[in-house]
Amino acid sequence: MFMNSLFRVLLCILAVVSSPAMAQTNTYEVRIANHAVGTIEARQNVNGHEKSISIQTHIQVMLSKVNSIITTEYSHNILTQAKSSRVTGKNGDDKLTTTRKEGNAYTIVMNGERSVLGNTEIQHCVGDLYFSEPKHITRTFSETLGKFLPLKALGDGSYELQLPEGKKNIYKYDNGTLVQVEVDHTFGKAIIVKSS
């Protein structure tokens, strides 16, 4: 009897310890005027009720460089923290935004300016767009801008992310996988294409 109970406990421990964490990495090429100018690596790790996303972007156009990293962490499908940093090497152009869940609100610090997004739970961020088609999602939280942005389904697996100042990005999916993004960028219109 004791051995049987011990065997069951060991099986339960083994099942919990060996439950696989799922990782997914997607890479993209950034193109401007049909020339490759950079790369994006999007990585998602899921372990039980925890999920983390990291988006690393490296772009160089002539003498201008932009390197950015966006990270998000979720627990039970609720954002617990996010960080977005952009480094250009130009004085005053670097940007840093952090978002942290505190009780029923989020504290957002953007370039040293603190604000609070109250009485909400963030369940979807822009980084999530790299891993799943946003069916039935009408807004997504921008880790970089520290606010919700409208997301509109256009049909045929295309979605329009509405940005401030009238700009928009178009995300295109094939069988639920992001394959292309059309971006209104400071360098002009860019196309992001899945490469692996």
Residues 85 and 68: their CA atoms lie apart, in Å, by: 5
Nearest to 52 by CA among 28, 26, 19, 79: 79
The pLDDT value recorded for residue 93 is 78
Residue 12: pLDDT band with limits 50, 70, 90: very low
Region 160-182: what's the mean pLDDT?
A: 95
Cross-strand pairs, 145: none
Distance CA 59, CA 192 (A): 11
pLDDT tier at 20, thresholds 50, 70, 90: low
| pLDDT tens digits, one per residue of 168-178 | 999 999 999 99
Give the mean model confidence (pLDDT) for residues 31-38.
92
Judge whether residue 5 has pLDDT over 80.
no
Which 8-state DSSP code applies to residue 139?
A: E
Phi, psi of 92 (to 5 degrees): 85, -10
The mean pLDDT value for 134-158 works out to 97
C-alpha distances (whole Å) from 100 to each of 84, 120, 168 are 12, 12, 26
Residue bearing tokens 């923290």:
81
- Range with the lowest mean pLDDT among 4-8, 94-98, 168-172, 185-189? 4-8
